[in-house]
Structure 1
Amino acid sequence: MSEDFHSMQSPQRQPGLEHEMDPAPDYAPRYPGSGRLSGKVALITGGDSGIGRATAVLFAREGAKVAIVYKDEDRDAEKTRELIEGEGSEGLPIRGDVGDKAFCQSAVEQTVEAFGKLDILVNNAGEQHAQEDPQDIEEAQIERTYRTNIFGTIFMTQAALSHLKKGARIICVTSITAYKGQDLLIDYASTKGAILSFLRAMASKLAPEGILVNGVAPGPIWTPLIPASFPEDAVKDFGKSAPLGRPGQPNEVAPCLLFLACEDSSYISGQVLHPNGGTPVGG
């Protein structure tokens, strides 16, 4: 991947368009599948691009049928469906806003109707809006960011619960910002902290039912959110402050979600994995 990042679409509508990115994110799985999700059905929010796309393709390679929820990025969603089918699986794009509780219920119902069940829910959809001055964070921005990031996570989980059985997985994508903050993304970091607390609470609540709830807290990952959120001069240096000296790729995060979705993580719940380029975090 080139060292120089360009902002073909910066700043633009959230959550961003993968087909306009230069360079393109790397979503392709690195290894042949081994059937770790054979017979499973997954629903991934924000599945059209970025971490969601990489996870959808990896899950498909491992044998899962995959429904992807996306807001309105039709071209990216169709590409992801093609990639899922290229792995020999079945994909179902579902267009709508996760901040709408009725839509979340409908998305789960469409998934179950198409594939017969639901085994894995990945709450990945998110948006962020950079602001230099905390006083400039408008109420509408706070509402929108919270509605997508944490309301959507709760709504989708509520909709899925009646379909999840023992051994099912809920995986929430939080962020390094939940642990160390981000002074340009104060409302976003707050939602990611809320997601962290949510997954821990749900892990405790669902443990007696044998449903495992975990999370992934990515660091600087090259996804459509980045050129959609920051000016070009900031995008050029994106990720270089990480100890590894570069941004991560979506296919470097997706294996964490696969681990949490498959039987390899059968004794893990309420935990978070940290693909963040080497930044120590805790709490």
Structure 2
Amino acid sequence: MPDTLNVLILGGTDEARRLAAALAGRAGTRVVSSLAGRVRDPKLPVGEVREGGFGGPGGLAAWLAEHGVHVVVDATHPFAARMTASAVEAADRTGLPLLILRRPGWREAPGDDWRWVPSLEAAAELLPSLGERVFLTTGRRSLPVFAGLDGQWFLARSVDMPGPLVPRRLEVLLSRGPFTVDGELALMREHRVEVLVTKDSGGEMTTAKLFAARELGLPVVIVRRPPPPEGVASVESVEAALAWLESAAGPGSV
């Protein structure tokens, strides 16, 4: 292995930031975190950061070669399927090792009323049978999918303002987690929420809404995450990612 191990982290998640922080400053390791640039004011990780897309798998492969990257960690959002597919193809083209870091998904507990669906479109089809007042926490880019539901009222939470194609009856709440159970309970009661819609993002930063929905007895529509790519190393924690990097780079390199 080289004297300096160059690691590219495809980031944007809390796990990506924690991994970058764990690697930053370690002798013999250089880390660059890449952010998609879709959030106006993102939380920046420690160390070097690049923002913006690569132009598909070909552009990513060229960037990896140009910058002498030795290993890639895909720590993007569990629903960033396109970026993961690009990472897999770019790693295949360049022959570089690739690790996928994905936090585990959520699991139902006694008292939950969860309705699993395969897509946002399926969630939209199900909503009229569950309630009129909807708390939508699937991100601003998902709002066009629900734009045709004139019978529903939506409270949509987002980091940035959505685009023009949105549901007719919509209130936007600009906010960023983590959230508390008490805060989510107060919010749902204030807006008389009847059903919660979310994605199976996993993690602890946004689980409070699930606890609140359970306490209020509300149905929760959950979009299943895309399946992971086959034949690619995958871990569920930062600690496991560090161990994998240590193994891939050789003892003492990470």
Structure with more strand by fraction: 2
TM-score range, shorter chain: 0.3 to 0.5
Superposition TM-score, scaled by structure 1 size: 0.39
Choose between structure 1 and 2: higher helix proportion: 1
Give the greater-gyration-radius structure (CA).
Answer: 2
